[in-house]
Amino acid sequence: MRQVTPLTDGWSLREADGSGEPLPAVVPGCVHTDLLAAGLIPDPFLGRNETEVAWVGRRDWTYETELAAGPGAHERTDLVFDGLDTVAEILLDGRPLGRVRNMHRSYRFDVTGTSGRLAVRFASAHDEAEAVRGRLGERPGAYAEPYPYVRKMACSFGWDWGPTLVTAGIWRPVRLEHWSTARIARVRPLVTVEDGTGRVELAVEVERTRTGAPLAVEAVVGGVRARAEIGEARGTVRLEVPDARLWWPRGYGEQPLYDVELTLLHGERALDVWRRRIGFRTVELDTSPDAHGTGFTLVVNGERLFARGVNWIPDDVFPSRITRERYRRRLEQAAGAGVNLVRVWGGGIYESEDFYDACDELGLLVWQDFPFACAAYPEEQPLRGEVEAEARENVVRLMPHPSLVLWNGNNENLWGFRDWDWEPGLAGDSWGEGYYLGVLPRVVAELDPTRPYTAGSPWSGSWLHHPNDPAHGTHHSWEVWNRADHADYRLHVPRFVAEFGWQAPPAYATLRRALPGEELAPDSPGMLHHQKAEDGNGKLERGLARHFAVPTGDFDRWHYLTQVNQARAVAAGIEHWRSHWPVCAGTVLWQLNDCWPVTSWAAIDGDGREKPLYHELRRLYADRLLTVRPDGAGGGLVLAAVNQCAQAWHGALRLRRMSVEGAVIARADPDLAAGARSVARIGVPAELVPSGPKEFLVADAPESPRAGGAGSGEGLRALYFPVPDREVAYPRPEFEVALAPGGITVTARTLVRDLLLQADRLDPGARADRGLVTLLPGERVTIGVRGWKTPDPDSARCALYCVEPTR
């Protein structure tokens, strides 16, 4: 049987020129984390230290360890690297074993019968990329750094939310594999289900030490066993599982997973074993033309879905630090917000098995980008061969996961070619189209025909339409954040919104940790350094000024209001688009997470703290959502009851036109009847439509699937104010605060708009169980707080914020 010896201990690190003393190295890891552990560089996440460590990515580095000879009982010993970041030469006692230049691949070298000093010499990825650019010519991109010229995590070179920290190192596990006769080189599982029968076809490839030895494979799935002979290099074993239980996305059913074990045999002697988990489900992408344009709807097990999605970036700029537990925690946060789809964005990586395992278990659908983002990518060698090799490896690696439902060729590159003035400057040079419309769909069709592929995001399906046409395929909505008011989300009904978002700073405790000793202000040095978006603060302020009086000289107020505006902006988009199901079939928020402490579009900040936006997502992505929006046709209001439950939604609505002082001006109680997986639209009677700065509409509905909603804790609520907050004649908020078991209770004496407990101001480790809540006079809410060491109502009051009347 194949034996494995992990190579985790005894590594050292030094500059490749031999200068300096060797340092202890952690493998898996990277140069930055080893230098940080040795106290040789400051934490690049703090203050403006990022610039102080830029030199690290410009140097060459060497990892070394002693390699012992393998067990004598085996015919072959391989040195296996699951991931090398990125450009490296591997040597054993000075003898070259090979050279590599792709972070997204694994590598294997025959070291049978040898031992000695193993060295992995990493060249600067900056230098490699700049050298390739020099040979192939300049290509346009969103950023000046040369990330399109090397197969490496693009956001290592910086992004509009991330630092420039160009890593190097043995970033995934390394081991020795000892084997004889033959080993399993690759297993490609095709998993399908039809009429209740699950079918598993395992295409097996083997590597041999010698020809002629008779081989077989035996596979077991769900108690079903099958055996097949293996030819010189490959074979296939097929199994049928009767009464297979279907794997469903969260909110649609359960997520049963089946263990698969495949054993390679020589006679009756086991040589190697391959183990994975699979799930039985079907997936289609409906891109049929209709009266509205060209659709983009995911269909799982025959059920058409509204995708409630988030974009995922690498959870740390140093990916080797992301543990299985951290993946699970972050993805549980996504699931807790009602998310059912996670898009792995193309400027990052193919994530580890731990990520996809968690998605399988949590019922989170995965949309996987191939790693191309926001640039023209050359198609010549050495890049072309690397692209195909990495695609082939990762398609097969990720195929077992039922959560994976879509392959996507790139992020924004087709759009960039058409809209960002790339085409004239390229003058016929290659820019990636051959990957997205040629290589990648061919690889997916050959290796993984059970899953759909789309050429890019955004993409209208062909060059017959503009790549970002909202009526066709996927759409990225960035004009609103960049230039307009978030109310403008209501101007369009895209078929699928794959990116949109609004910025806000991270939690207060995150800022205090990241900017120690700094007097915080929107434009203080550290705050500006941790704002990477072009004119980010200007866009924040202009977006805020459309709705609130922008506070001057009051950072705490600015911090609160920008977080409120982020939640309001995202709500404006999602409420509008969900209310137009099935024309619009999905929203994918930019973005779920951050890779360091930064002002960004994230719902969860770089320290893992949940912004108010996160809690707002729990409302926006709940199975049932109530929203009031202007009726574009008649100038009145429409109440939309969005019901993504499998059961119909019936009951009596309660509509109240109210004054800001709390008086009911008019009331109606229309019936609510929303069928399963549908939207009911109800016109608001004219006499209930509020006008001016002193009125608003309250709509309440019964039967929320989430208990503990705003106000009374029963049902769902939607609010509509006819004018921006800066024009609303809010009364000065009055409320009482009392301790409650596990938290606090707030009782409103006036209208209290968007009350927020910033629990991290009570204690950096404290978390509140809810975000923004609006209370009418006399209503109360209980806010749970975890990690609050010394509860008292006075400190709680100091950590409570709400919208106040414009001075």
Query: What are the residue numbers of the active site?
Result: 412
Q: Which helix (H) or strand (E) holds 423?
A: helix 422-426
- Classified as helix, coil or strand, 649 is strand
Phi, psi of 713 (to 5 degrees): 90, 5
Cβ burial 331-343 (10 Å sphere, 16+ → b, else e)? bebbbebbbbbbb
Q: Is 94 exposed, middle or buried (0-12, 13-18, 19+ CB in 10 A)?
A: exposed
Query: In this structure, are residues 357 and 277 in contact, taking their beta carbons and an 8 Å threshold?
Result: yes
Q: How far apart are CA 521 and CA 92, in angstroms?
A: 54
Strand boundaries in 414-520, DSSP class E = 453-454, 474-477, 496-500
Q: How far apart are CA 717 and CA 714, in angstroms?
A: 9
Beta bridge partners of 190: 201
DSSP β-ladder status, 258-266 and 297-300: unpaired
CA distance readout (Å), 189 to 300, 361, 401: 19, 19, 10
Cα separation of the two ends of the chain: 77
Q: Which residue is associated with the tokens 């709940």?
A: 622
Q: How far apart are CA 641 and CA 716, in angstroms?
A: 10
The residue count for the chain? 807
The packing angle between helices 383-398 and 440-447, to 10°, is 30
C-alpha count within 13 angstroms, C-beta hemisphere, residue 282: 15
* Peptide bond between residue 494 and the one before it cis (omega within 30 degrees of 0): no
**Distance from chain centroid for Cα 454:** 18
- Classified as helix, coil or strand, 528 is helix
User: Degrees (nearest 5) of the Cα angle 560, 561, 564?
Assistant: 90
Closest C-alpha among 42, 40, 16, 13 to residue 25? 13
How many CB atoms are located within 10 Å of the residue 630 CB?
16
